[in-house]
Amino acid sequence: MNATANAISPDDFQKFQEYFYRKTGIRFEDSKRYFVDKRLLERIAATASKDFRNYFAMLRFEASGAEMQELINLMTVNETYFFREDYQFECLVESILPEIVARKKHDGPIRIWTIPSSSGEEAYTIAMCLLERWAAIDQWDVEILSSDIDTNILVQARAGLYSARSVQHVPENYLGKYFRRTAKGFQLDDTLRNAVEFSRVNLQDPAEVRPYQNFDVIFCRNLLIYFDDQSRKRAAETFFDALRPGGFMLLGHSESMSRMSALFKVRKFPEAIVYQRPGGGWV
């Protein structure tokens, strides 16, 4: 087949754009045509589909959803690194956790959810910060759950093997303590790997997020930037339901809850601005 026969027409692009948006909350603008077309053509060839129409029908009707997952894995942007926006982790240990434990009326675990996890750096940074910077860590059980829609990136997250670029902001003493240098990169030690439970979750799918409940803190950084207003609003409602009353929510530095939802209170801590689900007499 020649290049023209293979091309994705504006109509096809629009159909795909709508479908992908409905499934993931991510809307690809026309400026992303090259990025999207390239990946679609790659999958059309890999699945030996005749053309876009043929491929798109398979994508929608395949019962296992395997091809949709392949495509999601190709379309997601997984950029992340350890200690990204470190002031938020400072805020967690200096301001948020002290407030949570002061109000907690039971000795059940403190539950933290980080979504999207990408390759795991954020969740493992939280685990390291708790161990190294939070004096009360020995008095509390902490559960750290971390989720992403991309199944390939979750395999990497669980493996805990990182490039020099990914660990460049890890303090030297933590690097020596929690990583082993190997020929393939920096291998995270098992204590930290076991401290985080990873799972595949599509934040835009109500059935998939429903089991995620009773969190004291949620990190959702650098995902809402890929959503439009409607999917952001839906995400805000999901987080509201997933938090315990009084629970806290941290977003990426260029993201804000104010346009999305009036459900949350804005809390200005010395280290960072954080959103809080009202209530919390406590639980």
Ligand X SMILES: C[S@@+](CC[C@H](N)C(=O)[O-])C[C@H]1O[C@@H](n2cnc3c(N)ncnc32)[C@H](O)[C@@H]1O
Q: Which residues are catalytic?
A: 39, 148
Q: Residue 210 is encoded by which pair of tokens?
A: 């429903």
Instruction: Establish if 158 lies at the interface with ligand X (CB under 6 A).
Output: no
State the helix-helix crossing angle for 10-24 and 66-75, rounded to 10 degrees: 100
Instruction: Establish if 218 lies at the interface with ligand X (CB under 6 A).
Output: no
Instruction: Establish if 155 lies at the interface with ligand X (CB under 6 A).
Output: no
Stretch that binds ligand X, among 110-118, 171-179, 191-199, 267-275 (CB under 6 A): 110-118
In the region spanning residues 62 to 81, those forming contacts with ligand X, defined by CB under 6 A, are 76-80
Instruction: Establish if 84 lies at the interface with ligand X (CB under 6 A).
Output: yes
Q: Contacting ligand X (CB under 6 A), which of 17, 88, 202, 276?
A: 202
Round to whole Å and give the CA distance between 103 and 244: 12
Tell me the closest approach of the beta carbon of residue 35 to ligand X, in angstroms.
Answer: 14
Q: Contacting ligand X (CB under 6 A), which of 8, 16, 20, 24?
A: 24
Strand 243-251, strand 273-276: pairing: antiparallel
Tell me whether the omega of the peptide bond preceding residue 171 falls within 30 degrees of 0, making it cis.
Answer: no
Tell me the closest approach of the beta carbon of residue 222 to ligand X, in angstroms.
Answer: 4
Stretch that binds ligand X, among 113-121, 176-184, 188-196, 263-271 (CB under 6 A): 113-121
Round to whole Å and give the CA distance between 276 and 245: 8
Q: Would you state the torsion angle of the CA atoms of residues 57, 60, 61, 63, taken in this order, to the nearest 10 degrees?
A: 140
Round to whole Å and give the CA distance between 201 and 178: 27
Q: Contacting ligand X (CB under 6 A), which of 20, 91, 112, 118?
A: 118
Who's near 114: CB < 8 A, 6+ residues apart? Answer: 122, 123, 126, 144, 145, 146, 147, 218, 219, 220, 221
In the region spanning residues 250 to 269, those forming contacts with ligand X, defined by CB under 6 A, are 252
Instruction: Establish if 149 lies at the interface with ligand X (CB under 6 A).
Output: yes
Q: Which residues bind ligand X (CB under 6 A)?
A: 24-26, 76-80, 84, 115-116, 118, 122, 148-150, 153, 201-204, 221-223, 252
